[in-house]
Structure 1
Amino acid sequence: MFLSLNGELIEEKDMKIFPLGEDFMYGYGLFETVKIQNNKTIFMKEHVKRLLKGCIILDLDIEWNYNDIENFASELIKRNGVINGALKIIYCKNIKGNNLIIIWKDIVYNRECYEKGFKLCFCDYKKNPYSPLVYLKTNNYLDNIFNKKRIQAKGYDEGIFLNVNNKVCEGTFTNIFFVKNSIIYTPSRECGLLEGIIREKVINLARELRIELIIKEIEGNDLLSADEIFITNSLMEIMPVSRLENKELSLKINYITKTLMKNLED
């Protein structure tokens, strides 16, 4: 397998990273995960725009622009013969200069996941909406990974964070939406969440379809009384939810979720 390091394709066995930089030592950097479908990247511009914006906030100088990064990604996809999968674009701080690393991997979500729906529970630990890092996709993702491992050990697929004010914010790897009385609800940014690319697409799609959507502070009990729940990220896009804690949700009557899934695909 070939990887891309600062625009140069390198075989996996020849990849070397300096271990004393702030990237390796402290997770100082950003990443984006981009879906590959039929040899093409999906929503690449939106992902790179968010990455470059994050670089400004974290004071990370970057010499490459969107066209450069897109070309590096295209070369990597072609060299590895990737048809469907995911790109991970990593930009990180190093003593000897910042590094742009692009790798690819398989997507773990399959047809069975969508047919069964995901099972969710609330995470034991809470997000801090007052930290600026909550709003960035940083390489220090241990909070999310640690909580996801804990909920998976309990037999769930995804965990939902509350913030320190007990408001719903996001999943460990997803944004969350729910439907009540044919109205879609999703937490506001100020609750402490990463504004996902697919989250934004779903919000705009609902408005195009003239489905009422409200962005607000949400209580955990609001989710427990929902008619439908779905979660989103760039690889799964829209995933229906069949269970939250002990509450079962029928995937036979999640009409709004199905409508959004169909129209996003189109």
Structure 2
Amino acid sequence: MKILLNGKLYNRDEAVCSVMDHGLLYGISVFETLRLYDGFPFLYKDHYLRLSSALVELGVKCPFTDEDFIEMIQFTAYSNELNQAYIRVTVTAGIEELGIPYGEYHSPQVIVMATPLKQTRSNKKGLIPLNVPRNTPEGYQRYKASFINNRIGKRELGNQPHMEGLFLTREGYIAEGIVSNIFFVKSGILHTPSLETGILPGVTRKFVMALARKLGIPFQEGLYKLEELETSEEVFITNSVQEIVPISFIQNRIWDKHPLSSFLHGEYKKYVYDLNSYRNI
């Protein structure tokens, strides 16, 4: 694997960061994961916006524009001879002395990785409620940064690739999956947990809601207890790599039909190769 580090390509074992990087010392770093379709990083502007907004909150100078963002991604994928890929872009605070500064970080480090897709969309998954609750965001909203809560949830779930763990808030409201957002259908209405629950504002979540609006599918964001999910007509999860995945069971409830998620996924796939998809919906 070739990795793009601060604009230069390195072999995997040669791409190294300083032990004085505040991304390592204090966890001051953010990242985005997205999917490359025939060389095109789908919804890259939305990913860029979320990343750059996180950097503003952390006081880290964003070192690239949205045009630079797509160029870095495509160059890294091309250098690895990949046309379909899983992309990760990480920005760390950069090298500083010990101690958390009150001012801005002006020398962030940028790491871009492109790897083959080991797994694309699953036909369906099971959903397992986790005992560990979803923690609240450390800032005003959740960004793709610290994954400690996700790590604890993943350890609880264990090695079950066809399962997704479901976080509830401390108040018992449905939050999100370990690496996904949650949707369910009840009385013909599409529902998804509100950002008030502290979930990640997923790029695919946002796109699915926009797609539902365009298609005239009624939807609501809200605070929902687990019982709402268990008595729903259909459940599915979303993320940028796996797209839209139906949920086949949760606890004692089984779903064998997924008409809306199948329909939405078919509509979703119409946009993934369209350079203007983010403008057309």
Partner of 1:149: 155
Whether 2:241 is the aligned partner of 1:261: answer no
TM-score (structure 1 length as normaliser): 0.92
CA distance in 2 between partners of 1:33 and 1:120 (Å) = 22
8 Å Cα contact 1:120/1:160 also seen in 2: yes
Distance in structure 1 (CA, Å) of the matches to 2:147 and 2:116: 20
Q: CA contact under 8 A between 1:121 and 1:156: conserved in structure 2? A: no
Which residue of structure 1 lines up, in the alignment, with residue 144 of structure 2? 137
Q: 1:101 aligns with which of 96, 104, 111?
A: 111
- Give the letter for the 1:121 counterpart: I
Question: 1:19 offset after TM fit, Å?
Answer: 1.6
| Unaligned stretches of 5+ residues in structure 1 | none
Shift, 1:181, TM fit:
2.0
Aligned-partner Cα distance in 2 for 1:168–1:55: 28
Once the two structures are aligned, what percentage of the paired residues are identical? 25
Would you say 1:188 and 2:187 are equivalent positions?
no
1:36 and 1:42 in contact (8 A); partners too: yes
For the residues of structure 1 that align with 2:12 and 2:160, how far apart are their CA atoms? Answer: 35
Cα shift at 1:174: 0.3
Give 1:154 deviation, angstroms: 6.6
Residue 180 of structure 1 and its aligned partner are, at CA, apart by 1.3
Q: Are the equivalent residues in 1 in contact too, given 2:36–2:84 (CA < 8 A)?
A: yes
1:59 is aligned to 59
For the 8 Å contact 1:161–1:169, the answer to whether it is kept is yes
* 1: CA distance, partners of 2:22 / 2:188: 48
- Which segment is superposed worse, 20-29 or 74-83? 20-29
Greater CA drift, 12-21 or 48-57: 12-21
Correspondences of 1:68-87 after superposition (within 5 Å): 68-87=68-87
Gaps of 5+ in 2: 97-106, 271-281
Higher-helix-fraction structure:
1
RMSD of the alignment, in Å? 1.7
TM-score, length basis structure 2? 0.87
Deviations 1:128-181, CA, capped at 9 Å, x for gaps = 33642761111x212102212321347861111111211111111000000112
Match of 2:104 in 1: none
Q: What SS does structure 2 have at the residue aligned with 1:231?
A: strand
